[in-house]
Every structure is written in C-alpha cells, then in structure tokens.
Amino acid sequence: MGEMDISSGLRVGPFEVLYPFRTEQSSTRASREGNYPGRLFIVEGIDGSGKSTQLSLLHKWLEAKGYGVVFSEWNSSPLVKDTTKLGKKKKMLTPATFSLIHCTDFADRTEKSILPLLKAGAVVLCDRYVYTAFARDVARGMDRKWVRDLYDFAVKPTVAFYFRVPLETAIGRITAARDCLKYYEAGLDLGLSDDPIESFRIFQGRILEEYEHMIPEFGLTVIDAELSVEAQQAQVRQIVKRQLEGVQELRIRP
C-alpha cells in the first residue's frame, strides 16, 4: 500500500503548522503556514506497539463513513525507496545518510501527496511521521535541533497519536511475529551489542525515551497500547470524530 490513490472531498478548517515560517518566498513556507481544508491523522510508536493495526481499523471506519481517505506509509516514495533499499541492503547508511534519505522520502510524499491532498480536502492517514525520524535519528546520535530543522517543511498533523507500550511488551510482540530482526531496525549499525535482540532492546529503549520527551514538546495524543485493540480503537475513533464533526462536505458518499 505504498503509493497513494487520490480521492477527495471539501472542507474548510484551520491548519496548524509545525514551526513558524521564516522567510517571504520559500517553498517550505507554503506547507508550514497551511490553512488547508483536509485533515491529517498520523500514528507513532515503536515497532510492536500496534499502531499500524489501529490505523488500518481507522481507515476502514472512515471509508465506511464515506470520507475521502488516503493512506501514506513511512518510507514508500517510489522515487526514493530504491535508494533507501540499496543503502540498507549494502549497509551503506550512516546515522546522517539514514536520516537524510528518510527525509528525502518524506519530502517526496509531502510534495506530491500529503500537501496537495490536504489542499484538496482529503483525510490523510500516515503510518509514522516526522516524530519517527526525530526519535530514531536522535537515538542514532544526530543532533536534536538539526533533525527538527530538517523536517521544517512538514505539515503539522491534526492529531498525532502515540501508541505507548512498555519495551518488553513490544519486544515480545516483535520476536513472536518474526524470525529475525533487520539490521537497521535493531540498531545493529550502532554497535551497541552483537546480539540482535539485545541491540534492539537498547536501541528501542533510546527511541522510547525520545518519544517520551516529544509528548509534551509536540502535544502527542497518548493511547495506552496495552489496552485491548477494541478499546484503543474506540478512543481513536472518538478523537478523530471530534475533528470531523460538522464537516459533512468531506464525505464522498452520503
């Protein structure tokens, strides 16, 4: 489900921006000052937090309600993903190039899909957003401010859900679901430990810490990911519903 299909509705509503813009005629400004009719909901959390399951349930619900919904996944730009794949396969990525290539991917999706779709009034759903980069890149040793500045062009989401889960629960879910952990996913490029599971534990621990800092910094909406799938989904839908209330125009079917 890497690429986006376009469907749209109409809606007028304010859009907040991640950062204040700085200059008169910049292309990054346009996306930041945004006052777009669409709505942007994103999910964040460490691997095994269950965020993708929750987003897919939200997607189906919104579609059933008749909204024009578009989904965009982390690391899925057709223009960039081959380069990312090459870098990962050949283990060529350093913390800096890991950060930059993921940002390039995100920029392509922002310029070609997320931004125009929000302007067109669609409900855009993103599995992982800038906060994933802030958490992972800083856990890899990149400068906190440099990474935040890098993603300056991103549109601020309507709601950013953070699925909070204890490290051990996430590790249990991941190791049960997979035969082996991927090199970068486990943070093996950092030389934290030769044992993939141990490296994963240390790396994801650092990422969790970054997420905790970001909850107040960016006003992330925390969902307890240890609750039942149904209970979490009920909370998510309630919050999303509030953001869609009174905007029937978004519906593409009555």
Partner 1 sequence: MRKTYGKVLPGMKLTDLAGKLIVIEGTDCAGRTTQINLLKPWLEELGHAVLDTGMTRSPLAGEGIRRAKEGNNLGRVTQSLFYATDFIDRLENEIAPALRAGFVVLTDRYIYSLIGRAIVRGVDPVWIRSLYSVALKPDAVFYLRVKLEDLIPRVIFSRGFDYWESGMDLYPAHDMYEGFCNYQRALLGEFDRLSSEFNFETIDASPEPKAVFAALQTRIQAVLNPEKSYLTRKVEETTERLTRSIDARGVFAAASAARDAEPSLQPVARLLNGNGNGHH
* Residue ranges in contact with partner 1 by CB under 8 A: 21-23, 25-29, 77, 79-80, 82-83, 86-87, 92-97, 100-101, 103-104, 107-108, 110-112, 140-143, 146, 149-150, 152-153
17-26 burial, b if ≥16 CB within 10 A, otherwise e? bbeeeeeeee
Nearest to 75 by CA among 133, 155, 144: 133
For partner 1, the closer of residues 127 and 152 by Cβ is 152
Q: How far is the CB of 193 from partner 1 (least distance, A)?
A: 18
Beta carbon nearer to partner 1, 25 or 238: 25
Return all residues near 139 (Cβ < 8 A) that are at least 6 apart: 187, 203, 206, 207, 209, 210
Residue 90 Cβ, how far from partner 1 at the closest point, in Å? 8
The answer to whether 211 and 45 have CB atoms below 8 angstroms apart is yes
Nearer to partner 1, 97 or 248 (CB): 97
CB-CB contact of 128 with 21 (8 Å): no
- Give me the least distance between CB of 65 and partner 1, in Å please: 32
Q: Between 101 and 160, name the residue whose CB sits nearer to partner 1.
A: 101
The CB-of-21 to partner 1 minimum distance in angstroms stands at 8
